[in-house]
Amino acid sequence: MSGMIQGGWEFVWAAYGITFTTLSLYCFSLWMRLRADKNEP
Amino acid sequence: MSRERLALGFGLLGIALLGWGSYLGLFVAPPDRYMGDVQRIMYVHVPTAWLALVVFTLAFIYAVLFLVHRSWRWDALHEASLEIGVLFTGLLCIQGALWGKPTWGVYWAWDPRLTTVAVMLLSFTGILSLRHFLDDPLRRASWSAATTILASANVPVVYYSVRWWNSLHQLQSTPKTVNSSMVEPLRINAFGLLFLTIALIMARSWIAESRRRKAMAPPLAKESS
């Protein structure tokens, strides 16, 4: 027993995946809102 | 250079740095002696925490500037900071839960750090909701600025909670307590998220400013037949 937590990559991938997906979706929503705003009279 | 190009430049630089820092954090940095590979969550979790606190501090500054100068520019930046701060704090809670489960055995604990972060998330989400409910731009700006100043009292409490109280959450690390191979991806991701945040605040404030202008525009004259 080394005392080190073994495995856990699924938590790492979930954290990175959720972070980058959320940031991408937010960037996309800003882009859509800016575009809609420009098209509005 | 136009402001759109400047924001795009900051955004692209931020994304590139985040990609590089995350690559180093996931594949190059060594695993932690006790937490193993799970500790790699730190390279996104800590920059998210730093930027959430920075953005809410900015929201406080913009709120004060609006109340002092009554300039709509500060109100637009205030709205942008609130939304991005809430987004980062939501992400922070999810990342923390995913780190907590394999290390603490639970996704959530009512520990001082987690509780103060939850209060921060709920209070600033409430202020954002308040802005959506108020139609009058001046009342919306003034009320939300005042409530942001009140809610901001919790921001330093979040930072110092791990020092003031006996917390399950670890104390802040410094470059002296962390291996240099772990500091590099952390710093790159922090700068990446900082540049991306600048771009997001700029873009979101343009939306807020444009909506406010449209709301305050005089009604069009009726066409005479």
pLDDT digits (tens, 9 = 90+) for B189-222: 999 999 999 999 999 999 999 988 888 877 666 6
B223: in domain: no
Whether residues B101 and A34 touch (CB distance < 8 A) is answered with no
CA–CA separation, B46 vs B39, rounded Å? 11
Q: Which of B73, B99, B69 is nearest to B170 (CA)?
A: B99
Whether residues B38 and A12 touch (CB distance < 8 A) is answered with yes
Helix (H, G, I), strand (E, B) or coil at B32: strand
- Using the Cβ of B3 and the Cβ atoms of chain A, whether some distance falls under 8 Å is answered with no
**Chain A residues within an 8 Å CB radius of B95:** 15, 18-19
Tokens in use for B122? 């709920």
pLDDT of residue B96: 95
- Number of domains chain B contains: 1
Q: Which of B71, B15, B81, B95 is nearest to B51 (CA)?
A: B81
Mean pLDDT of B98-111: 93
The ipTM, to two decimals, is 0.91
CA–CA separation, B3 vs B122, rounded Å? 33
List Cα–Cα distances, B113 to B8, B9, B169, B218, in angstroms: 35, 35, 7, 48
One-letter amino acid of B35: M
pLDDT higher than 90, residue B225 = no
Question: What's the mean pLDDT when you consider all of chain A?
Answer: 90
B36: in domain: yes
pLDDT of residue B175: 75
B128: in domain: yes
Q: Which residues pair with B36 in a beta bridge?
A: B32
Q: Which of B22, B40, B84 is the mutation pick for testing A, counting most A CBs within 10 A?
A: B40
Helix (H, G, I), strand (E, B) or coil at B59: helix
B94: in domain: yes
Reported confidence tier of residue A7, pLDDT bands at 50, 70, 90: confident
More confident residue, B213 or A41: B213
B218: in domain: no
Asked if B147 and B105 count as a contact pair (C-beta separation under 8 A), the reply is no
Asked if B62 and B74 count as a contact pair (C-beta separation under 8 A), the reply is yes
Tens digit of pLDDT for each residue in B146-171?
Answer: 999 999 999 999 999 999 988 888 88
B80: in domain: yes
Query: What range does the domain containing B47 cover?
Result: 3-167+182-213
pLDDT of residue A14: 97
The pTM of the full predicted model, rounded to 2 decimals, is: 0.93
CA–CA separation, B93 vs B200, rounded Å? 20
B173: in domain: no
B221: in domain: no
pLDDT of residue A5: 80
Q: Which of B105, B102, B60 is nearest to B81 (CA)?
A: B60
Mean pLDDT of A25-41: 90
Q: What is the DSSP letter of B2?
A: -
Asked if B172 and B161 count as a contact pair (C-beta separation under 8 A), the reply is no
Tens digit of pLDDT for each residue in B5-15?
Answer: 999 999 999 99
pLDDT higher than 80, residue B172 = no
Nearest beta carbon to residue A14 from set B33, B35, B98: B98
Question: What's the mean pLDDT when you consider all of chain B?
Answer: 92
Q: Which residues pair with B32 in a beta bridge?
A: B36
pLDDT of residue B33: 85
SS (H, E, C) B61-89: HHHHHHHHHCCHHHHHHHHHHHHHHHHHH
One-letter amino acid of B82: L
Cα B159 vs. chain centroid, distance in angstroms?
Answer: 14
Contacts of B74 (CB under 8 A, 6+ apart): B62, B63, B65, B66
Tokens in use for B200? 């997001």
pLDDT of residue B199: 97
Reported confidence tier of residue B224, pLDDT bands at 50, 70, 90: low
pLDDT of residue B209: 92
